[in-house]
Amino acid sequence: MKIQQKHSGSQAMTGHRDETVGRPPLRSHEGFGKARRRARAVAVGLAGAALLTLSGCTDAVQRGWFPEDSVGATDHTERISDLWRGSWIAALIVGAIVWGLVIWCMIAYRRRKGETGVPAQIRYHLPLEVMYTVIPVMMIAVLFGYTARDQSEILDTSEKPDVTIGVVGKQWSWDFNYKDSDVYESGVMGQLDGNEGAEAELPTLYLPVGKRVQFDLTSRDVIHSFWIPAFLMKMDMIPGIENKFQVTPAVEGSFKGKCAELCGEYHSEMLFNVEVVSQAEYDQHMADLEARGQTGQLETELGRSEMAPESSDAEEAGNSDAQSFSTESKTAEVQR
């Protein structure tokens, strides 16, 4: 009773309420030195373990899990790989710092045996809050800068190409117009029935090694996406719009291509082959197409064309336009 009267009298004299009455005592930060040292040791150990792990990365990890045949495939693959790896390294560094701070706080400020009450409370810390804002903005700005630089270089089409190829996407195959040679190749949807040799029937895109190639991309029906995984580059094909990009194949070899945009029931079978060959082999293929009568350029206007062989799964699924290619039907599409 006397204590209550004393507090009442004190409140009456000062005009302020004592907010500490009835609250548990605050814990001081004394005695945390050992805990901080232990936390630093743990952080150093984690950093050392991370360095040892990174130093022993496999080839797949070092190339960012990109396809093995992408290494040096074009003049852009190294630039794209560097941007990809750099982004992941920056993300891992930020993650390690955040994880380290979280673990350190858990160890340094844990409740000790015999301690009661709550830790000393801090209302705000202005420098820390400014740092929380400025550092993320700087990180995003740096990442944006590198991305904008590389994207500008990859999508630059100001240089005159050595070869221009018009690629037309259609459900569910590809047409290739070799514009400089004025010949074309028209594809039919692949029949992936599990039998060997099915890939040999897919349309094949020929590219000369060491030459700057420009792809002019469009679609006849729905949105597709032109993608050669080993080239680390893909671009949308939109009806009525022509997108383009340039690339220089750096090594000879066989590669795979596919549509990367869900475009209907047989999207998974919209595939094509890619052959990067010498200039002599490329010229011979152009001569072979001309000898077969595949001269001129295929139409790129909207509309369905032959999409699958007769009696194929696509025809049974209700594709009324599915039919085998004939000389007459191909000729009808060619711009003379």
Give me the half-sphere count of Cα atoms (radius 13 Å) on the Cβ side of residue 264. 18
187 class by beta-carbon count within 10 Å (0-12 exposed, 13-18 middle, 19+ buried): buried
- Which of 233, 187, 247, 240 is closest to 218 using CA atoms? 240
Residues of the chain with CATH 2.60.40.420: 163-335
158 class by beta-carbon count within 10 Å (0-12 exposed, 13-18 middle, 19+ buried): exposed
- pLDDT in the model for residue 155: 94
Mean pLDDT confidence for 88-116:
88
Per-residue pLDDT band at 35 (split at 50, 70, 90): low
- Which of 205, 195, 192, 217 is closest to 268 using CA atoms? 192
- Give per-residue burial for 77-104: e unless 16+ CB within 10 Å, then b: bebbbebbeeeeeeeeeeeeeeebeeeb
Sign for the CA dihedral angle at 225, 228, 229, 232 comes to: negative
- pLDDT in the model for residue 300: 82
- pLDDT in the model for residue 46: 62
Highest mean predicted confidence (pLDDT) among 27-41, 75-89, 154-168: 154-168
With beta carbons less than 8 A apart as the criterion, state whether 307 and 189 touch.
Answer: yes
Coil vs helix vs strand at 193: coil
C-alpha distances out from residue 179 to 156, 167, 278, Å: 20, 10, 19
Full-model pTM: 0.71
Characterise 240 by phi-psi region: left (phi > 0), alpha (psi -120 to 50), beta (else): left
217 class by beta-carbon count within 10 Å (0-12 exposed, 13-18 middle, 19+ buried): buried
With beta carbons less than 8 A apart as the criterion, state whether 168 and 218 touch.
Answer: yes
Alpha-carbon gap, residue 93 to 145, rounded angstroms: 19
- Which of 285, 315, 113, 112 is closest to 205 using CA atoms? 285
Alpha-carbon gap, residue 86 to 145, rounded angstroms: 13
pLDDT at 307 over 60: no
- pLDDT in the model for residue 23: 53
pLDDT in tens, 121-151: 777 888 888 988 999 999 999 999 999 999 9
Per-residue pLDDT band at 116 (split at 50, 70, 90): confident
Architecture per CATH, 163-335: Sandwich (2.60)
Tokens of 310: 């007769």
pLDDT at 327 over 70: no
Highest mean predicted confidence (pLDDT) among 88-97, 219-228, 306-315: 219-228
Chain position carrying tokens 């936390």: 39
Summary mean pLDDT of the chain: 79
Alpha-carbon gap, residue 246 to 19, rounded angstroms: 72
Alpha-carbon gap, residue 146 to 87, rounded angstroms: 10
pLDDT in tens, 18-31: 444 455 554 554 54
With beta carbons less than 8 A apart as the criterion, state whether 223 and 238 touch.
Answer: yes
pLDDT at 287 over 50: yes
